[in-house]
Amino acid sequence: MLRFLARRFLSLIPVILVITIILFILLQLMPGDPVNAYLGQGSKVTPEQQERIRAELGLDKGPVTQYINWLGRTLKGDFGSSIQFRKPVNELIGDYIWNTFLLNIVSFILAFAIAIPVGIKSAVKKYGKFDNFWTVFSLVGVGMPSFFFALLVIFFIAIPFGLPINSMRDPLKAALGYSNIFEEIFDVAQHMLLPTLVLTILSLAGLIRYVRNSVIDVINQDYIRTARSKGLSEKVVIYRHAFRNALIPIVTLLGMYIPSLFGGSILLETVFVWPGIGNILYSSVMNRDIWVVMGANTFYAVLMILGNLFADISYAIVDPRVKLQ
- Do residue 100 and residue 71 come from a single domain? no
- Do residue 137 and residue 270 come from a single domain? yes
- Cα 290 to Cα 250, 265, 269, distances in angstroms: 36, 19, 20
Amino acid at 82: S
Q: Confidence band (pLDDT; 50, 70, 90) for 132?
A: very high
What is the crossing angle of helices 181-219 and 146-153, to 10°? 130
Give the integer Cα–Cα distance in Å for 69 and 50.
Answer: 21
Say what the pLDDT of residue 42 is: 63
In the predicted structure, residue 96 carries a pLDDT above the cut 60:
yes
For residue 323, how many C-alpha atoms fall within 13 Å in the half-sphere facing its CB?
1
How many CB atoms lie under 10 A from the CB of residue 200?
A: 20
Range in 16-25, 63-72, 248-257 with the lowest mean pLDDT: 248-257
For residue 20, how many C-alpha atoms fall within 13 Å in the half-sphere facing its CB?
27
- Do residue 138 and residue 42 come from a single domain? no
Nearest to 34 by CA among 51, 14, 71, 59: 59
Domain around 176: 95-318
Nearest to 107 by CA among 206, 8, 31, 39: 206
Averaged pLDDT for residues 5-23: 82
CB 285 within 8 A of CB 272: no
**Does any domain span residue 236?**
yes
- Do residue 128 and residue 223 come from a single domain? yes
In the predicted structure, residue 322 carries a pLDDT above the cut 70:
no
- Do residue 171 and residue 267 come from a single domain? yes
Q: Confidence band (pLDDT; 50, 70, 90) for 45?
A: confident
Say what the pLDDT of residue 264 is: 59
% of the chain at pLDDT higher than 70: 93
Q: What is the pTM of this model?
A: 0.80
In the predicted structure, residue 130 carries a pLDDT above the cut 90:
yes
